[in-house]
Amino acid sequence: MELIVHPSEPPVTNGHRPSLAPSPALAFHHVSKVFADGTQALDDVSLSVAPGEMVAIVGPSGCGKSTLLRLASRLSVASGGTIEVAEGNLGYVFQDATLLPWRTVQRNVELLAELSGVDKAERARLATQAIELAGLTGFEQHRPRALSGGMRMRVSLARALVMRPRVFLFDEPFGALDEITRERLNAELLELFVRERFAGVFVTHSVGEATFLATRVVVMSARPGRIVAEVPVPLGYPRAPELRFSPQFSDLAAEISARLREAMA
């Protein structure tokens, strides 16, 4: 598979990095992963994500989608190939909210800044900002136990936002939520994306979610995971929830579903 670079994508505007686009925010070059037990999870995966791009990855269960994110964040080491990640912070949103139950919302959101040695006043300021962005104002002193699944996920998002990541990895974060909450969080995530313009990789089972969020949808095959199709989503941002009912959206989703069926066959 060839390395695909998107020089047409808007350059990073935050001044975080000099706008040396087209250098990718995240790139996999011929990456493979074999687990200790001999299972081959990924085979020759090449994928490049430009700054400001949101790439969704869909594929059957166990196709190594999550493994790809673990490799990108160096939670796990690739067996072959190289991975490039742009400088700056990496945001990671897990499948579960992974909040610390003994900490309040405020203290959970502060956690990453705290671990990085940011002083108390500054991290409180950063957390307050992220809490506002994630729509959690008023819930600062709640413990995770008192929150619904959707609210917990917002806290998880806010926690990652505090570090102002330039690359954001989402490991099926809304998979366990009900449909309504999930759609609402999709809309909220897009608002954040439009505002912060990070590069995102969003792993999901849902074709609808992938189409709604992404600038490009990558389809992976069953184990060992390979990229079998890339479908660009030529819809601008911001995207309204009603977009889901447009003919263009349905056509795109139908195409991605067809590719996914091929991949699973």
Task: Give me the least distance between CB of 27 and other proteins, in Å please.
Answer: 19
Closest CB to other proteins among residues 112, 207: 112
Sign of the Cα torsion 95, 164, 118, 131 reads negative
Residue 98 burial by Cβ neighbours in a 10 Å radius (0-12, 13-18, 19+): middle
Give min distance, CB of 62 to other proteins, in A. 18
Residue closer to other proteins (CB basis): 114 or 196: 114
In the block, residue with structure tokens 């989402």:
170
CB of 220 to other proteins, least distance (A): 22
- Residue 36 or 265: which CB sits closer to other proteins? 36
Say if residue 129 is exposed, middle or buried (CB neighbours under 10 Å; 0-12, 13-18, 19+): middle
Cβ proximity to other proteins: between 200 and 207 the closer is: 200
Helix (H, G, I), strand (E, B) or coil at 139: coil
Rounded Cα distance, 229 and 263, in Å? 9
Residues interacting with other proteins, by CB under 8 A?
73, 75, 90, 92, 94-96, 98, 100-102, 111-112, 114-116, 134-139, 142-148, 150-151, 181, 184, 188, 191
φ and ψ of 231, to 5 deg: -115, 110
Q: Decide whether 115 or 254 has the Cβ nearer to other proteins.
A: 115
Instruction: Name the minimum Å distance from CB 75 to other proteins.
Output: 6
DSSP 146: G
Minimum CB–partner distance for residue 2 and other proteins (Å): 30
